[in-house]
Amino acid sequence: MAKIIGMVLAGGRVDELLVLTAKRPKSALPMWGMYRIIDFVLSNMMRAGVDVVGVLSQYRPHSLNTHLLNGEPWDYVGRSRALRVLSPFKGAEDSDWYKGTADALYQNLAFIERYAPERVVVASADHVYAMDYRPMLQQHAASGADLTIAFKRVPREEAHLYGTAVLDASRRVTVYQEKVSRPEGDLASLTVYVFNTGCLVERLKQNARDGQTFQIYSEIIPGMIEEKARVFGWVFDGYWQYARTLDTYYATNMDILNDGAPDLSAWGVRTNTHPETLGDPTPALFRPTARVTSSLVCCDTVVEGAVDRSIISPGVVIERGAIVRDSVVMHRCRIAGGAVVDRAILDKDVRVGREARIGCGEAVPNRQHPHTLSSGVTVIGKGARIPEGLRMGRGCIVYPDMREANFARTEIASGSVVST
């Protein structure tokens, strides 16, 4: 049986991502043109030699399940290797859904116990990073830990956004605090845990009886610290992004264009390249009128216009005279001639009409959602149709599947929301 199995937490919708997670969980959200966010944790598991992985899926799972393709893109096929999607099964009501991360694992104890592993790696699917889990696993075994948590040092002014810890000289966790206003430490939890299986099973059963939040981070970890269990930290110093808000999702995408960007070749990220999910993998085509600078352009695109500092996913068409600047354009979007897209995120299958202008005027926070969108980026939901000649300001949000009739005016003021 497997000595180590992985459990990937992939089921949640992140409210701050608004229109981008209206039809998919965050784990299925595109990143850097051709990847999905879940690709990073699955590639980490694959490289670390974790042969069996359970993916805990819940919210609108169709897009995610289609992408996973039974684990084949990450070599999870064969007698000793497996990837299984684990959905809630206790009942048919919303109240029977996973109540939290601890409850999700508890509902799947049979899956864990079936493989009788010595250790379980539990990791979130909504972070962007490349990590070799093997040194962490080696430290876990050498220290005799019940639980080892991966941390990364963050600026003091940002520490309140995360679960944070203080470690002693032996790397044992002496303090753990979950998103407090003035944390004692500046080591942020990356939501990557290594549990001894016996400890995990015992704690999950206890939490199922006595828990209130049913979360690993707010109940199981603090309980173990309080009871002086052997909880240790492993400090990671590589690139890592959480990308929880619309602003940070945009910034993480744009990181790939900056100096010192992650080396994707070295990362060795795997993804599903099946034509039905990624687009026919024909080469990108640049017409004589195309002008492309400092951009990432994926396969199966046609560029006739100008692209500057942007990320262009497969299947995109940018017609002659169109300009795309400082933007993230997802699969199969079409930007008509004369249109301008400036500092925007276009979800899949968006159509921008001729001479339309997205992103003009002064950058302002979105009026309804300033907590997640304050940088002036405009976000267009999946399948929306932007009318010809429309002028849209900055910091706007357009909900999925909006049609020309939903745009009552020819000019949309900065900070607006367009919905039904």
Q: How far apart are CA 319 and CA 340, in angstroms?
A: 11
CA-to-CA dists, residue 42 to 68, 73, 123, 127, angstroms: 10, 10, 10, 11
What spatial distance separates the first Cα and last Cα of the chain, rounded to whole Å? 53
CA-to-CA dists, residue 2 to 113, 120, 204, 327, angstroms: 11, 10, 20, 44
Q: How far apart are CA 245 and CA 29, in angstroms?
A: 13
Q: Which of 183, 179, 170, 188 is nearest to 231 (CA)?
A: 170
- What local confidence, expressed as pLDDT, does residue 1 receive? 54
Query: What is the value of pTM for the model shown?
Result: 0.94
Q: Is the dihedral of CA 126, 41, 220, 222 positive or negative?
A: negative
Q: How far apart are CA 242 and CA 232, in angstroms?
A: 22
- What local confidence, expressed as pLDDT, does residue 275 receive? 61
Q: How far apart are CA 333 and CA 318, in angstroms?
A: 8
Which amino acid makes up residue 88?
P
Which amino acid makes up residue 108?
N
Angle at 53 (CA atoms; ends 52, 56), nearest 5 degrees: 155
Q: How far apart are CA 358 and CA 378, in angstroms?
A: 7
Enter the DSSP assignment of 218. Answer: I
- What local confidence, expressed as pLDDT, does residue 94 receive? 42
Burial of 83 (0-12, 13-18, 19+ CB in 10 A): buried
Q: Are 322 and 338 in contact (CB under 8 A)?
A: yes
Enter the DSSP assignment of 60. Answer: S
Question: Counting runs of H as helices and runs of E as strands, what totals does the chain give?
Answer: 10, 33
Q: Are 193 and 223 in contact (CB under 8 A)?
A: no
User: What string of pLDDT tens digits covers the 420 residues of the chain?
Assistant: 569 999 999 977 788 999 999 989 999 999 999 999 999 999 999 999 999 999 998 888 888 999 999 999 999 998 899 999 998 765 444 445 789 999 999 999 999 999 999 999 999 999 999 999 999 999 999 999 999 999 999 999 999 999 999 999 999 999 999 999 999 999 999 999 999 999 999 999 999 999 999 999 999 999 999 999 999 999 999 999 999 999 999 999 999 999 999 999 999 999 998 766 655 568 999 999 999 999 999 999 999 999 999 999 999 999 999 999 999 999 999 999 999 999 999 999 999 999 999 999 999 999 999 999 999 999 999 999 999 999 999 999 999 999 999 998 999 999 999 998
Write down the domain spans for the chain: 4-255, 279-418
Which CATH code for domain 279-418? 2.160.10.10
Which CATH code for domain 4-255? 3.90.550.10
